[in-house]
Amino acid sequence: MEKHTTDTIDEQMRPLTWGTRVSYGLGDTACNVVYGMVGSLLTIFYTDYVGISAAAIGLIMLISRVFDGCSDVIMGFIVNKTHSKWGQSRPWILWMAVPYALSAVLLFTVPHTTSNLQLIYIFVTYNFTATICYTALNLPYGSLSAMMTRSSRERDMLSIVRMALSPIGRIMAVTFTTPLVKVFGNDQAAWVKTMSIWAVLALIMLIICFKNCEEKVQIKAVKKEKVSASRAVKALLTNQYFWAVLVLWMMQNVITSITGTILPYYCKYILGNDTWMYSVLYMIETLVLIAATLFSPLLLKRLGKRNMSLIGCIGCFIGQLVFMINPANFYWLLGCCIIRGICFAPLNSVIFGMLGDVVEFGQWKSHLRQESFIFAIGSVGTKLGNGITAAILTQLLSFGGYVSKVGVTTQPQSAVDMIMNIYKVGPMIVWISVIIILVLYRLDKKYDGIMKDLAEREANGEL
pLDDT tens-digit readout, 155-211: 999 999 998 898 888 787 777 888 899 999 999 999 999 999 999 999 999 999 999
pLDDT at 324: 93
- Please check the confidence at residue 358 and state whether its pLDDT lies above 80: yes
8 pLDDT band (50/70/90 cuts)?
Answer: low
d(CA 353, CA 164): 13
The HSE-up count of residue 186 (CA atoms within 13 Å, CB side) is 7
pLDDT at 9: 61
258 pLDDT band (50/70/90 cuts)?
Answer: confident
pLDDT at 72: 84
pLDDT tens-digit readout, 284-341: 998 899 899 989 989 998 999 999 999 999 999 999 999 999 999 999 999 999 999 9
pLDDT at 2: 42
Q: Provide CB contacts within 8 A for 299, sequence distance 6+.
A: 308, 346
d(CA 28, CA 164): 10
Instruction: State the average pLDDT over residues 391-395.
Output: 85
Angle of helix 54-81 versus helix 135-148 axis, rounded to 10: 50
pLDDT at 189: 94
- Please check the confidence at residue 366 and state whether its pLDDT lies above 90: yes
3-state helix/strand/coil string of 118-171:
HHHHHHHHHHHHHHHHHHHHHHHHHHHHHHHCCCHHHHHHHHHHHHHHHHHHHH
Instruction: State the average pLDDT over residues 142-148.
Output: 89
**Structural domain 2-214+227-459, CATH architecture:** Up-down Bundle (1.20)
pLDDT at 221: 47
Closest by CA to 285, choosing from 345, 327, 201, 346, is: 345
For Cα atoms 20, 22, 26, give the angle at the middle one, nearest 5 degrees: 115
220 pLDDT band (50/70/90 cuts)?
Answer: low
- Please check the confidence at residue 223 and state whether its pLDDT lies above 60: no
For Cα atoms 281, 285, 289, give the angle at the middle one, nearest 5 degrees: 170
pLDDT at 92: 96
Instruction: State the average pLDDT over residues 400-419.
Output: 87
Average pLDDT over the chain reads 88
Q: Provide CB contacts within 8 A for 54, sequence distance 6+.
A: 43, 47, 394, 395, 397, 398, 402, 404
pLDDT at 257: 81
d(CA 264, CA 160): 28
pLDDT at 176: 85
Lowest mean pLDDT, pick from 193-202, 214-223, 402-411, 449-458: 214-223
Instruction: State the average pLDDT over residues 60-77.
Output: 83
Instruction: State the average pLDDT over residues 144-149.
Output: 90
Contact 434, 251 (CB under 8 A): yes
Lowest mean pLDDT, pick from 6-15, 110-119, 274-283: 6-15
- DSSP E strand boundaries for 281-380: none
Contact 41, 34 (CB under 8 A): no
Contact 383, 72 (CB under 8 A): yes
- Please check the confidence at residue 222 and state whether its pLDDT lies above 60: no
- Please check the confidence at residue 459 and state whether its pLDDT lies above 50: yes
Contact 349, 160 (CB under 8 A): yes
Domain ranges of the chain: 2-214+227-459
pLDDT at 247: 93
pLDDT at 306: 95
Cβ-based neighbour number of residue 316 at 10 Å = 26
d(CA 260, CA 390): 11
- Please check the confidence at residue 349 and state whether its pLDDT lies above 70: yes
Instruction: State the average pLDDT over residues 249-263.
Output: 86
Closest by CA to 379, choosing from 95, 59, 138, is: 138
pLDDT tens-digit readout, 97-125: 999 999 999 999 999 999 899 999 999 99
